[in-house]
Structure 1
Amino acid sequence: MATQPETGQPKKGGVVVLVAALLALIGPATTQLVLTEIPMEESGRKVAVTVSPQAGTATITNISGKQYLRVYLDMIGVATACDGLTGEGIMVGREFTEGQCAQMLVDRLTADGARVMACTPGLALSIPRRDHVRYAALSLGHHVGWPTYCASTMRRQINAGQIRAACTSLTWFNKAGGRVVPGIVARRKREQAICLKDAT
Structure 2
Amino acid sequence: MSPGLKKTLLGLSGASALTLASVIVPELEGVRYAPYYDIAGVLTVCYGHTGKDIVRGKQYTPEECLAMLNKDLQPFAQAVERAVTVPADEYQKAALITFSYNVGISAFQHSALLHELNAGRFEQACEGLKKWTWAGGKQWKGLMNRREVEYEVCRWKRNVS
TM range (shorter): 0.7 to 0.9
- Correspondence for 2:81 among 117, 137, 141: 117
- The corresponding residue for 1:150 is 109
Q: Residues of 2 paired with 1:94 and 1:118: CA distance?
A: 36
Q: Residues of 2 paired with 1:198 and 1:187: CA distance?
A: 19
Which structure has the bigger radius of gyration? 1
1:40 aligns with 2:4: no
Q: Residues of 2 paired with 1:175 and 1:87: CA distance?
A: 21
Consecutive unaligned residues of structure 1, counting only runs of 5 or more, are: 1-26, 44-66
Within 5 A, what are the aligned runs for 1:54-69?
A: 67-69=31-33
- The corresponding residue for 2:62 is 98
Partner amino acid, structure 2, of 1:82: C
- The corresponding residue for 2:6 is none
- Correspondence for 1:189 among 148, 153, 156: 148
> Is the Cα contact below 8 Å between 1:30 and 1:134 reproduced in 2?
yes
Partner amino acid, structure 1, of 2:44: T
Partner SS, residue 81 of structure 1: strand
Q: Residues of 1 paired with 2:120 and 2:37: CA distance?
A: 39
Q: How many residues align?
A: 146
> Is the Cα contact below 8 Å between 2:18 and 2:73 reproduced in 1?
no
Consecutive unaligned residues of structure 2, counting only runs of 5 or more, are: 1-13
Q: Residues of 2 paired with 1:198 and 1:90: CA distance?
A: 37
Q: Residues of 2 paired with 1:145 and 1:198: CA distance?
A: 25
Q: Report the TM-score when normalising by structure 2.
A: 0.82
- The corresponding residue for 2:48 is 84
Partner SS, residue 127 of structure 2: helix
Report Cα offsets for 1:77-129 as digits up to 9, x if no partner.
Answer: 3211111111231242233222221111111110121122212222xxxx3x6
- The corresponding residue for 1:141 is 100
> Is the Cα contact below 8 Å between 1:170 and 1:188 reproduced in 2?
yes
Partner amino acid, structure 1, of 2:63: G
Partner amino acid, structure 2, of 1:99: E
Within 5 A, what are the aligned runs for 1:166-177?
A: 166-177=125-136
- The corresponding residue for 1:161 is 120
- The corresponding residue for 1:49 is none
Q: Residues of 2 paired with 1:115 and 1:91: CA distance?
A: 27
Provide the identity percentage: 27
